[in-house]
Amino acid sequence: MPKDKSDLLQGTLDMLILRALEPGPSHGFGVSVIIRRISGDVLQVEQGSLYPALYRLEAEGWVRSEWGVSDNNRKAKFYELTVAGRRQLAVETESWERLSCAINLVLGHA
């Protein structure tokens, strides 16, 4: 039975969030919009997964946050990549590329 939504592989959410923050700071809802837009509306990150991941990334030192005002004039917490977060994004991107190449080889799409 086909799925309507694409489930994220375990461990890819951190990489997607870091990638969404690469161009600059964003609030949580903005991060989910960026991921959905970049993926062509295929990937949707629910709040119940997004915010715990953002808190975890902040605890790791890969993002930092500060309160600000959103475009619609509401108080929001904005997240941005740290230097360590940029390094982690590079590590996770390289790992993902190796994994996806290996999967393509197994599927015969080299």
* pLDDT tens digits for range 14-36: 999 999 999 999 999 999 999 99
Fold for domain 12-107? Arc Repressor Mutant, subunit A (1.10.10)
Model pTM? 0.85
3-state helix, strand, coil in the chain (%, to 5): 55, 15, 30
- What is the chain's mean pLDDT, rounded? 90
- Backbone phi, then psi, for 2, in 5-degree steps? -70, 145
- Rg (alpha carbons) of the chain, rounded to whole number: 15
Task: List the domain boundaries for the chain.
Answer: 12-107
Q: What is the pLDDT at residue 2?
A: 44
Residue type, 69: V
- Backbone phi, then psi, for 67, in 5-degree steps? -75, 140
